[in-house]
Amino acid sequence: MGDLLYAKDGAIATITLNRPERLNAITPAMLDALSQALVDADRDRDVRVIVLTGAGRGFCSGLDLKDLAAGTGIGSDAAALPARFELRDAPPIVLHHVDKPTLCALNGAAAGYGMDLAIGCDIRIASDRAKLAGGFAKRGVLPESGGTWLLPRLVGWARACEIAFTGRTLAAAECLELGLVNRVVPHELFEKEVRSLAEEIAANAPLAVQATKRMMRLGLTDSFESNVHQVYLQLLPLFRTRDFQEGVRAFLEGRPPRFEGR
């Protein structure tokens, strides 16, 4: 098995960081594999929800500092990025532009790069054993993978500053209070809760869900008037889909809809 796993179960694609012995610390090879897995899931018509999680007791401990200290990890002189690497290929940017809903199954600690990866997902469900640790300032760097953009939007300027400048570790309950996770679940119920939410999202009309996500993402940097205009342009083709017809028919017949993504 590789350092990154990709599995499909029905309409749900699960991407698993798979270096449990190193708390899923990121290697250069994992960056490319993660980006490709996200692209594959986004292009697959059968996939309606993407779940991102970690193997073992941690989600992701960030960049592999042991490899870095040995001169072979990300950030070392010896670890050059692949020749074809471009910033647009970096996982945080690919993750941001994926149209399928992304659900972070925060099974344990997420530190540094792992924290940026977690908060880059649309939704986060945390085990009560999970933690977020943005200790960048304690390592002489800054949140390089989306954190400086995401944190102020999630928790507000002042709280984002406190989290980033202190580098404190936030327990699951504090993450919930701050709005960094959607819910905290007892660890023994964690996988069931993640699956339940993923299935609930996947049961809805996928084209409508993806269009909604695109417009919400656009709205982060767009004016209200421009966003309303763009939403209208997204709405017109949805009126012509079989899913729209099925949604109306199911409502009138008092039954759950069966969407095809067409």
| Residue 85 falls inside a structural domain | yes
Check whether residue 248 and residue 129 sit in a common domain. Answer: no
pLDDT at 86: 62
Check whether residue 131 and residue 57 sit in a common domain. Answer: yes
- For the chain, what is the domain count? 2
**Under 8 Å CB-to-CB from 98, ≥6 apart: which residues?**
38, 39, 41, 42, 50
**pTM across the whole model:** 0.90
| Residue 111 falls inside a structural domain | yes
Check whether residue 131 and residue 31 sit in a common domain. Answer: yes
Check whether residue 155 and residue 101 sit in a common domain. Answer: yes
Q: Minimal CA–CA distance to 52: which of 152, 147, 151, 126?
A: 126
Check whether residue 233 and residue 175 sit in a common domain. Answer: no
Angle between helices 206-219 and 224-239 (to 10 degrees): 170
| Structural domain boundaries enclosing 230 | 206-253
Q: 């986060």: which residue's tokens?
A: 124
Check whether residue 85 and residue 38 sit in a common domain. Answer: yes
pLDDT at 74: 55
Decide which of 202, 217, 240 is a domain's last residue: 202
Distance CA 2, CA 152 (A): 35
The CATH number linked to 235 is 1.10.12
- Gap between the terminal Cα atoms of the chain: 35
Check whether residue 213 and residue 93 sit in a common domain. Answer: no
Burial class (CB in 10 A: 0-12, 13-18, 19+), 19: buried
The pair phi, psi for residue 146, each rounded to 5°, is 110, -15
Question: SS3 for 13?
Answer: strand
How many other CB atoms sit within 10 Å of the CB of residue 205?
A: 22
| Residue 57 falls inside a structural domain | yes
CB 209 within 8 A of CB 201: yes
| Residue 190 falls inside a structural domain | yes
- C-alpha pair distances (Å), 48 with each of 6, 107, 125, 197, 209: 15, 21, 18, 12, 9
| Residue 258 falls inside a structural domain | no
Decide which of 186, 202, 218 is a domain's last residue: 202
Question: SS3 for 49?
Answer: strand
Check whether residue 14 and residue 37 sit in a common domain. Answer: yes
The CATH number linked to 187 is 3.90.226.10
| Residue 259 falls inside a structural domain | no
Check whether residue 79 and residue 175 sit in a common domain. Answer: yes
Distance CA 180, CA 116 (A): 11
| Residue 230 falls inside a structural domain | yes
Question: SS3 for 71?
Answer: coil
Decide which of 160, 183, 202 is a domain's last residue: 202
Check whether residue 81 and residue 194 sit in a common domain. Answer: yes
| Residue 262 falls inside a structural domain | no
CB 133 within 8 A of CB 110: yes
pLDDT at 33: 95
Q: What is the pLDDT along the chain (262 residues), one digit of tens a residue?
A: 799 999 999 999 999 999 999 999 999 999 999 999 999 999 999 999 999 999 999 999 998 866 655 555 555 454 555 544 466 789 999 999 999 999 999 999 999 999 999 999 999 999 999 999 988 888 888 888 899 999 999 999 999 999 999 999 999 999 999 999 999 999 999 999 999 999 999 999 999 999 999 999 999 999 999 999 999 999 999 999 999 999 999 999 999 999 999 9
Check whether residue 198 and residue 216 sit in a common domain. Answer: no
Check whether residue 86 and residue 152 sit in a common domain. Answer: yes
pLDDT at 143: 85
Q: Are strands 49-54 and 58-60 parallel, antiparallel or unpaired?
A: unpaired
Q: SS3 helix, strand, coil % of the chain, rounded to 5? A: 50, 15, 35
CA angle (182 as vertex; 150, 103 as ends), nearest 5: 75
CB 105 within 8 A of CB 190: yes
